[in-house]
Amino acid sequence: MSTVNTRPVAGQGDRRGPLASVLLHATLIAASVISLFPVVWLVLTSLKPRDGWLSAELELFNQPSLTNYSRVFSETEFPVWLLNSVVAAGLTTVLGVFLASTTGYALSRFSFPGRRGIMWLLLITQMFPVAILIVPLYNLMAALGLLNQIPGLIVAYMTIAVPFCAWMMKSYFDSIPREIDQAGLIDGLTPFGTFWRVILPLARPSLAVTAFYCFMTAWGEVAYATVFMSQEDKRTLGVGLQQFVGQHWSDWGLLTASAVLIAVPAAAVFLVVQRHLVAGLTSGATKS
């Protein structure tokens, strides 16, 4: 792939008329505006004073202030939700990366009875709607005393994140030459040792992508969290934020400020890792 990337881009390339150039840039600028606008408007709204969101005037700034932000921290449960979300997403990431990489490696390197079946299983679990699992899972969690417990939520998130991540890791391992494993074995490492000490370090970009995917999955999940975490102090951000804009009462000032606090750090990290993300995804997609 990397050799293809550096080549000149296909198509008419350099010989583009001025009109075509203008059209190309105009289209891309329009698309970028649509893509960017909601986020910019969110940030601008969050900076308005307390009831600033009540005005529908198209003004960019109106006495910008950080009132909404200080209210989020002093008047709401936001810090608790944030902590819950960080813990849940963080642990999901650690466990998810570990499970996805061992599974992906086994599927990529060993041909063992059941391999095909497992690959199918991973694909099929992608299709499971929350609806069918959520009730029995709720009962199971209740029976195990895991309702309103963050570990329970983490285990539920595994079922969403791990199948896709294992699939992604497998594609990446497929692109690492087998000779490297064989060299490790000849040097006297066990298959597990080879995996741990030789292959995993080589798979770092893909591990980063997997970690990121697990984190985002857990960070953005709403359905399981809504059902499993009913207790006030166990809510995650996705559940908690619904409080700010209910049926009868809403405070978009609080909502926009907390949304910025949630989205902006995530977006920043995302934009830093996106190059790897693109490579990781496409190496999987073009080969599957």
Partner 1 sequence: MRSTPSAGAHHGRRRGGRAPGPLRRALGRHWYAWAMVAPVLVVIGVLIGWPLLRGVYLSLTDATEANVGRTIGVNVIPASYEFVGLDNYLDILTSSLFWDKLTWTVIWTVSCVGLHYGLGLGLAMLLHRRMRFRSVYRMLLILPWAIPGFVAAFIWRYLFNSDFGVINAMLKAAGLGAVGWLDDPTTAKLAVIAVNVWVGVPFMMVALLGGLQAIPADLYEAAAVDGATPWQRFRHITLPMLRPVSATVVLLGTIWTFNMFPVIFLITRGGPGSDTEILVTYAFREAFTGVRNYSGSAAWGVIILALLIVLASVYRRALRKQGEVW
Q: Looking only at residues 198 through 217 of this chain, which bind partner 1 when binding is defined by CB under 8 A?
A: 216
76 lies in the site for partner 1, by CB under 8 A: no
The residue written with tokens 């008047």 in the block is 75
3-state SS assignment for residue 144: coil
12 lies in the site for partner 1, by CB under 8 A: yes
Distance CA 206, CA 172 (A): 7
Cβ partners under 8 Å of residue 13, min gap 6: none
Q: Of 22, 27, 70, 94, which lies in the binding site for partner 1, with binding defined by CB under 8 A?
A: 27
Residue closer to partner 1 by CB (options 70, 242) is 242
Distance CA 170, CA 106 (A): 8
150 lies in the site for partner 1, by CB under 8 A: no
Distances (CA, A) of 81 to 104, 219, 247: 33, 11, 21
Q: Of 76, 109, 147, 213, which lies in the binding site for partner 1, with binding defined by CB under 8 A?
A: 109
Distance CA 186, CA 193 (A): 12
We find the least distance from the C-beta atom of residue 232 to partner 1, in angstroms, to be 18
Scored b (16 or more CB within 10 A) or e, 105-140 reads bbbbbeeeeeeeeebeebeeeeeeeeeebbeebbee
Q: Of 50, 70, 115, 231, which lies in the binding site for partner 1, with binding defined by CB under 8 A?
A: 115
263 to 282: interface string for partner 1, x by CB under 8 A: x--xx--xx--x--xxx-xx
We find the least distance from the C-beta atom of residue 75 to partner 1, in angstroms, to be 18
15 lies in the site for partner 1, by CB under 8 A: no
Scored b (16 or more CB within 10 A) or e, 231-246 reads eeebbbbbbbbebbee
8 lies in the site for partner 1, by CB under 8 A: yes
41 lies in the site for partner 1, by CB under 8 A: yes
70 lies in the site for partner 1, by CB under 8 A: no
25 lies in the site for partner 1, by CB under 8 A: yes
We find the least distance from the C-beta atom of residue 262 to partner 1, in angstroms, to be 6
Residue closer to partner 1 by CB (options 80, 222) is 222
* Alpha helices by DSSP H, the chain: 2-5, 18-46, 67-75, 78-109, 115-125, 130-143, 150-174, 178-186, 191-193, 200-202, 204-220, 223-228, 237-240, 252-287
Q: Of 88, 91, 207, 237, which lies in the binding site for partner 1, with binding defined by CB under 8 A?
A: 237
153 lies in the site for partner 1, by CB under 8 A: no
Which range, of 3-11, 65-73, 75-83, 203-211, touches partner 1 by CB under 8 A?
A: 3-11
Residue closer to partner 1 by CB (options 67, 280) is 280
158 lies in the site for partner 1, by CB under 8 A: yes
Per-residue tokens: 108: 């990529």
In the Cβ-directed half-sphere of 91, how many Cα atoms lie within 13 Å? 13
Report the candidate in 236, 227, 205, 223 with the shortest Cα–Cα distance to residue 90: 236
127 lies in the site for partner 1, by CB under 8 A: yes
239 to 268: interface string for partner 1, x by CB under 8 A: --xx--x------x--xx--x--xx--xx-
Per-residue tokens: 276: 């790897």
